[in-house]
Chains A and B, each alone.
Chain A
């Protein structure tokens, strides 16, 4: 079976800086795959390359048999490859509902939008309570819910999550990852980029370890958790 999202031999440059060196990874339908690595390893670059914000110099990105590198960012969103941006980045001056509606920009069918809105409110009852509140006044955890909900409004076929745990208190991180599990149970395909390798490897089925733009390891989450190198470098165990 062909993978839903398949990245092959991708090289991405920032000017002369070779940021991604021959990256290959694949994600099957309904799977959670995590990409872990330290700061500057190329995790966010990989996501930006997939969503079309950066163009790879070599390599292909196949999504359900189509080459994504030929499309513009907004066309890629319309195809169902949707990003939850790093650091949440909600529209601070808009209300919660307005933020969510903005997430559905690529969708023109009103009924689909209200159905999605209900679904997001069912997933995050907290957002429903605060639907008229200005997003900038939400707490960090609520903003992460909103950023996730906003991405879900676009009917994602693959959800690209960039560091959802960033800057959140541990209890909120657990909350967010409960949501990710729930999304997985509902059948959403997720590519999860995380610095917090411990928790990422708990929810993911497979993982890739990225270092200096190169994929070092590629294995099931369980094997990665057991891996000597991963334990030392990313899980902080000795």
Chain B
């Protein structure tokens, strides 16, 4: 008897989690808020998708967590999970109809219940909800049991459809600008969501591409590898030039709003790359990083703004001074916290960030820094008669900054200093025993990161034409840490991916804006559980978190290899 009992257990337990999560999402208003938009026109809204995706995810988890090897059991468990989650949702609907929950949960409105019951009324709708949840449980269980390849194809093509629906506002106007593609786009997208045939075709096309790649992909890859090295290099150059070209024409294609989003993402990439040196390379948890952003922005403001009237520098002559100010303040922060590690360092730096914000806010410094009103009339950067004024133009300024900072980051990582940072991050005491000068190494990490941040700040000031103290609160630091963790600590592509995911996506999805922090938190927890090394991890993190897996341990030395790195530097 106890065996049959434990059969259920996984499904039941996971179902309880699923129930709580989906009820929570409904009660905080996400389901209702997302229902304005359809994923597939007239078929399924984003709110329903969100609710049902929770069920899909949780039932899949349940099937996966089934320890016993029998296939039926995985199916039973995911079915049970689906039913339990469904029961929770139905209970919420019934409870909401009996008792007025709105005095506590403002979002528990009749509209929400109407959405949850698919507009079918209390009795029929609740039943439908339960049946749908159970069906999803059954189907996910079946999908789990599919062979690997089929499952991957199915999951990827379906999630592509959902993704296309979610970012429809980005895709539709962009594709509309491209002659022949515009016709296809008109057919796939409606004014609200994908069209049903469009969604089906999209899923099928992606499935076919995936299948083709899984059968032929290896052959193509080895084909490319077998090419003579000269041709390979040409191929790589072609790919690289296409990439550069795409980046160069991007703002022209995307238009004003999306270019604005790109500039924000770009600024976070700059900030992220700087903090990546401090946190990712050197392993120093700095929570006051926004301070250097503020110092860069305010230095540029003071030097260029006619409103304050002290100096009348141009953007270009103020920029190096702003960076130098950042570097100096990085060292000034670094000195008192030299002996601190881990949590203590985090708290001390957090304090530093607040000190800077409060200083620029203070009435005492108002004549010089503008106080709460900030500093305005900051001139735009310009080259000759070309002015970086609109987002499409500022984009190029930020792109140039990003490329420069990426280049410096790459060179630093492979340098002697990069090695010293790595040793320090791994084990400070041993690094010292290896003959590494801890004081200099730490201060250089703080200074480099601060310099990048100040660069970002100066561009930010010129972009907005004004600086205000409230632009520099602690949330900026937290956002940057989050995007580094989600992207993958110490990884340069990771910073870019993290910025796009955590800064770009919320800008695009107006619905998310309100739940930004919740999504951050959930994303971090899910990341830590499923992919702790980040979306695009650095080699070394991958090694740490997948220790002992033969593939990674057998990996040959990274191409930048240690020996050559000793040529440079001291």
A residues engaging B (CB < 8 A)? 51, 53, 72-74, 77-78, 82-83, 85, 89, 91-95, 97-98, 101-108, 110, 113-114, 132-134, 136-137, 150, 154
Whether A73 and B432, one on each chain, are in contact in the complex, defined by CB atoms closer than 8 angstroms, is yes
Beyond the given A77-B435, A85-B430, A136-B547, please list 9 additional residue pairs across the A-B interface where CB-CB is below 8 A: A73-B435, A73-B438, A77-B433, A78-B435, A85-B429, A94-B422, A101-B562, A137-B553, A150-B434
Instruction: Using CB atoms, name the residue of chain B closest to A150.
Output: B434
**Complex Cα gap A74–B428 (Å):** 12
Instruction: Using CB atoms, name the residue of chain A closest to B423.
Output: A102
Interface-centre pick from B426, B540, B541, B570 (highest chain A CB count, 10 A): B426
Whether A105 and B563, one on each chain, are in contact in the complex, defined by CB atoms closer than 8 angstroms, is no
Number of chain B residues whose Cβ lies closer than 8 Å to a Cβ of chain A: 35
Q: Does B159 contact A (CB under 8 A)?
A: no
Q: Does B231 contact A (CB under 8 A)?
A: no
Q: In the complex where A105-B435, A134-B553 touch, is A113 in contact with B423 (Cβ < 8 A)?
A: no
Whether B566 and A51, one on each chain, are in contact in the complex, defined by CB atoms closer than 8 angstroms, is no
Contacts of B434 in A (CB 8 A): 77, 102-103, 105-106, 150, 154
Whether B566 and A91, one on each chain, are in contact in the complex, defined by CB atoms closer than 8 angstroms, is no
Partner of B556, one of A92, A106, A113, A132: A132
**Complex Cα gap A108–B417 (Å):** 13
Tell me how far the C-beta of A125 lies from the nearest C-beta in chain B, rounded to whole angstroms. Answer: 19
Whether B543 and A110, one on each chain, are in contact in the complex, defined by CB atoms closer than 8 angstroms, is no
**Complex Cα gap A107–B112 (Å):** 68
Interface-centre pick from A72, A83, A134 (highest chain B CB count, 10 A): A134
Contacts of A93 in B (CB 8 A): 426, 540-541, 543-544
Whether B544 and A133, one on each chain, are in contact in the complex, defined by CB atoms closer than 8 angstroms, is no
Q: Does B427 contact A (CB under 8 A)?
A: yes
Contacts of B555 in A (CB 8 A): 132
Instruction: Using CB atoms, name the residue of chain A closest to B542.
Output: A93
Q: Does B419 contact A (CB under 8 A)?
A: yes
Q: In the complex where A74-B436, A101-B562, A154-B434 touch, is A132 in contact with B557 (Cβ < 8 A)?
A: yes
- Summarize B's interface: helix, strand, loop or mixed: helix
Which 8 residue pairs across A and B have the least CB separation, nearest first?
A77-B435, A106-B435, A101-B562, A91-B426, A93-B544, A74-B437, A74-B435, A105-B434
Residue interface mask B373-412, A partner, CB < 8 A = 1: 0000000000000000000000000000000000000000
Q: Does B552 contact A (CB under 8 A)?
A: yes
Contacts of A106 in B (CB 8 A): 434-435
Tell me how far the C-beta of B565 lies from the nearest C-beta in chain A, rounded to whole angstroms. Answer: 8
Whether B563 and A114, one on each chain, are in contact in the complex, defined by CB atoms closer than 8 angstroms, is yes
Partner of B433, one of A83, A108, A133: A83
Contacts of A72 in B (CB 8 A): 437
**Complex Cα gap A133–B548 (Å):** 9
**Complex Cα gap A95–B539 (Å):** 12
Contacts of A110 in B (CB 8 A): 563-564, 566-567
**Complex Cα gap A78–B430 (Å):** 14
**Complex Cα gap A15–B563 (Å):** 41
**Complex Cα gap A82–B426 (Å):** 19
Contacts of B556 in A (CB 8 A): 132
CB<8 Å pairs between A and B, sample of 19: A72-B437, A74-B435, A85-B429, A89-B429, A89-B430, A91-B423, A93-B544, A94-B540, A95-B557, A105-B419, A105-B435, A106-B434, A113-B563, A113-B566, A132-B553, A134-B552, A137-B547, A137-B548, A150-B434
Q: What is the number of contacts between chain A and chain B, taking CB atoms within 8 Å? A: 94
**Complex Cα gap A51–B543 (Å):** 32
Contacts of A154 in B (CB 8 A): 434-435
Tell me how far the C-beta of B533 lies from the nearest C-beta in chain A, rounded to whole angstroms. Answer: 11
- Residues 534 to 562 of chain B near chain A (Cβ within 8 Å): 540-541, 543-544, 547-548, 552-557, 562
**Complex Cα gap A150–B555 (Å):** 21
Whether A89 and B427, one on each chain, are in contact in the complex, defined by CB atoms closer than 8 angstroms, is yes
Partner of B554, one of A89, A103, A132: A132
Q: In the complex where A94-B426, A113-B563 touch, is A105 in contact with B553 (Cβ < 8 A)?
A: no
Q: Does B80 contact A (CB under 8 A)?
A: no
**Complex Cα gap A71–B432 (Å):** 13
Contacts of B265 in A (CB 8 A): none
Tell me how far the C-beta of B318 lies from the nearest C-beta in chain A, rounded to whole angstroms. Answer: 38
Whether B432 and A98, one on each chain, are in contact in the complex, defined by CB atoms closer than 8 angstroms, is no
Interface-centre pick from A73, A82, A106 (highest chain B CB count, 10 A): A73
**Complex Cα gap A216–B31 (Å):** 77
**Complex Cα gap A9–B335 (Å):** 33
Contacts of B287 in A (CB 8 A): none
Tell me how far the C-beta of B482 lies from the nearest C-beta in chain A, rounded to whole angstroms. Answer: 23
Q: Does B420 contact A (CB under 8 A)?
A: yes
Contacts of B543 in A (CB 8 A): 93, 134
Residue interface mask B421-451, A partner, CB < 8 A = 1: 0110011011011111110000000000000
**Complex Cα gap A101–B562 (Å):** 6
Instruction: Using CB atoms, name the residue of chain A closest to B544.
Output: A93
Instruction: Using CB atoms, name the residue of chain A closest to B440.
Output: A74
Q: In the complex where A73-B432, A134-B552 touch, is A108 in contact with B563 (Cβ < 8 A)?
A: no
Whether A97 and B429, one on each chain, are in contact in the complex, defined by CB atoms closer than 8 angstroms, is no
Contacts of B563 in A (CB 8 A): 101, 110, 113-114
Contacts of A77 in B (CB 8 A): 433-435
Q: In the complex where A77-B435, A114-B563 touch, is A91 in contact with B430 (Cβ < 8 A)?
A: yes
**Complex Cα gap A92–B544 (Å):** 8
Contacts of A102 in B (CB 8 A): 419, 422-423, 434, 562
**Complex Cα gap A85–B435 (Å):** 13
Q: In the complex where A89-B429, A93-B540 touch, is A105 in contact with B557 (Cβ < 8 A)?
A: no
**Complex Cα gap A94–B547 (Å):** 11
Interface-centre pick from A107, A114, A137 (highest chain B CB count, 10 A): A137
- Residues 207 to 223 of chain B near chain A (Cβ within 8 Å): none
Whether B553 and A133, one on each chain, are in contact in the complex, defined by CB atoms closer than 8 angstroms, is yes
Tell me how far the C-beta of B417 lies from the nearest C-beta in chain A, rounded to whole angstroms. Answer: 11
Partner of B420, one of A105, A113, A134: A105
Contacts of B541 in A (CB 8 A): 93
**Complex Cα gap A153–B380 (Å):** 54
**Complex Cα gap A101–B438 (Å):** 18
Whether B557 and A53, one on each chain, are in contact in the complex, defined by CB atoms closer than 8 angstroms, is no
Tell me how far the C-beta of A44 lies from the nearest C-beta in chain B, rounded to whole angstroms. Answer: 12
**Complex Cα gap A150–B540 (Å):** 19
Q: In the complex where A92-B426, A101-B563 touch, is A134 in contact with B432 (Cβ < 8 A)?
A: no
Contacts of A105 in B (CB 8 A): 416, 419-420, 423, 434-436
**Complex Cα gap A114–B567 (Å):** 13
Whether A74 and B432, one on each chain, are in contact in the complex, defined by CB atoms closer than 8 angstroms, is yes
Tell me how far the C-beta of A144 lies from the nearest C-beta in chain B, rounded to whole angstroms. Answer: 14
**Complex Cα gap A181–B546 (Å):** 37
Tell me how far the C-beta of B219 lies from the nearest C-beta in chain A, rounded to whole angstroms. Answer: 28
**Complex Cα gap A53–B432 (Å):** 9
**Complex Cα gap A132–B548 (Å):** 12
Instruction: Using CB atoms, name the residue of chain B closest to A52.
Output: B432
Contacts of B435 in A (CB 8 A): 73-74, 77-78, 82, 105-106, 154
**Complex Cα gap A91–B429 (Å):** 11
Contacts of A73 in B (CB 8 A): 432-433, 435, 438
Contacts of B547 in A (CB 8 A): 134, 136-137
Contacts of A137 in B (CB 8 A): 547-548, 553
Contacts of B554 in A (CB 8 A): 132
